[in-house]
Amino acid sequence: MNNILVPYDFNPQSVLALDWSLQLAKKLHCNVTMLYVNELQGIISSVFSKEQDEEILEKIGEEMDTTAAKLSLGSGLDVEVRIQQGRVYSVILEVAAELQSSFIVMGSRSNDPDDHDQKPMVGRNTSRVIRMAKCPVISIGGTYLPDNCNSVLLPLDLTKETLQKTTWAITMAKIFGAGIRAVSALWSVNNPEIMARLILQMDKVKETIEAAGVRCTTHIIETTSGEKTAVPSILDYAAKEGDVGLMVIMTQQESALVEFFVGSHAQEFIRLSAIPVMSVVPEDKGA
C-alpha cells in the first residue's frame, strides 16, 4: 500500500477527507496525493475566459502546494499535488489506476450545486467513483471526524460476499489496532429460520475474525415496523456505541431475506452516516 488518493475541491468535506487520509497514511507509511480536477464544463470554464481560467488554476495550484507543504512538514508524510482537466469521476479513476492507489478518500458530496438538495445526497461524482473504482473508496459524509478508530462496524447479511467484506474489515481493524463490531439487522425476529441462519453466519464470522487476532463482538438489531430500511437502526447502533470510526459495506444488491444495501440502500448508508464509510466492489461482480 503506497498511495492514498484524495480528490480535493476545497469543499469542507474534502478537507475532512484529506485529514482522514493522513491518519490512514500514517498507519500505512504511504504517500497522499491531492487531486484537483478542473471540470471541462465546470463553473470556472463556463464563466471565465481561457486566460482567466489559467490564472485561477495557477492560484489553485499555489494554494494546494502550500497546503501540501504544511501537511508534509507536520506529518512527515509525502503529500503530492495533481491538477488535471476532464470529467471529475473519470480523472479520479484514471489517476487512481495510474498511481495504483490503495484507497480513494473523498467527501460524499461536492461543490456541484446540482448535488445539493433539502436533504443530504451522495454527489454524482462520488457515486460513480464508488461504483467503478478498482480499490476501496472511503467516503466522508459527516462534519467532524472521530479522534480515533476503536471499532470497525461490519454489517452482516446472508450473501457469499460476506467473506470479502469480513476480510476487508479485518484488514482495516489491524491497520487501526481496532476491534470489529459485527451487526445484522432483521425485519422480523419471529422468523426462526432466518434468525438461525443469521446466528450461524455471525458465529462463523466471529470465529474467522478472532482467528485473525482481532477482537469481535456481535449484535442482532431488530428493526421497527415503521422503518423502510435497516439503515437507520444500524447507524443508531453505531452512534450509541460511540467508538466506531469506520464502516465497511459492499456496493452490490444484497440478499432479499435480510434487506440492506439494496440499490439505493448503499447510498443511504453513505448519505446518512456521520462516520467514514468504506465501499468495496465484490471481486466476482467487477466494477
pLDDT (tens, 9 = 90+) of the chain, 287 residues, equals 789 999 999 888 899 999 999 999 999 999 999 999 988 655 555 555 566 667 888 899 899 999 999 999 999 999 999 999 899 999 999 999 999 999 999 988 654 444 444 455 677 888 889 888 999 999 998 777 777 789 999 988 766 667 788 999 999 999 999 999 999 877 665 677 778 888 888 899 999 999 999 999 999 887 765 566 778 888 899 999 989 999 998 875 444 434 433 345 677 888 888 899 999 877 654 43
Number of other CB atoms surrounding residue 35 within 10 Å: 25
pLDDT of residue 119: 54
- Read off φ and ψ for residue 184, nearest 5 degrees: -140, 140
Domain identity same for 136 and 245: no
Domain identity same for 192 and 234: yes
Tell me, yes or no, whether 146 lies in a domain. Answer: no
Produce one character per residue of 153-179: b if its CB has 16 or more CB atoms within 10 Å, e if not: bbbbbbbebbebbbebbbbbbeebebb
**Exposed, middle or buried, 58 (CB in 10 Å: 0-12/13-18/19+)?**
exposed
Domain boundary among 140, 160, 188: 140
Helix, strand, or coil (residue 120): coil
Query: Comparing C-alpha atoms, which of 151, 154, 155, 153 is closest to residue 176?
Result: 151
Domain identity same for 100 and 168: no
Domain identity same for 163 and 280: yes
Beta strands 277-280; 137-140: pairing state? antiparallel
- Read off φ and ψ for residue 143, nearest 5 degrees: -105, 5
Tell me, yes or no, whether 188 lies in a domain. Answer: yes
Domain boundary among 140, 164, 196: 140
Largest CA distance in the chain: 69
- The Cα–Cα gap between 150 and 278 comes to 16
Q: Which domain holds residue 34?
A: 3-140
- The Cα–Cα gap between 273 and 32 comes to 24
- Read off φ and ψ for residue 179, nearest 5 degrees: -95, 180
Q: Angle 181-238-163 (CA atoms, 0-180°, nearest 5)? A: 35
Residue 177, C-alpha cell as written in the block: 489496532
For the four alpha carbons of 41, 47, 49 and 55, in that order, the dihedral sign comes to: negative
CA atoms within 13 A on the CB side of 73: 6
pLDDT of residue 165: 86
- Give the CATH number, domain containing residue 61: 3.40.50.620
Domain identity same for 162 and 38: no
The number of domains in the chain is: 2
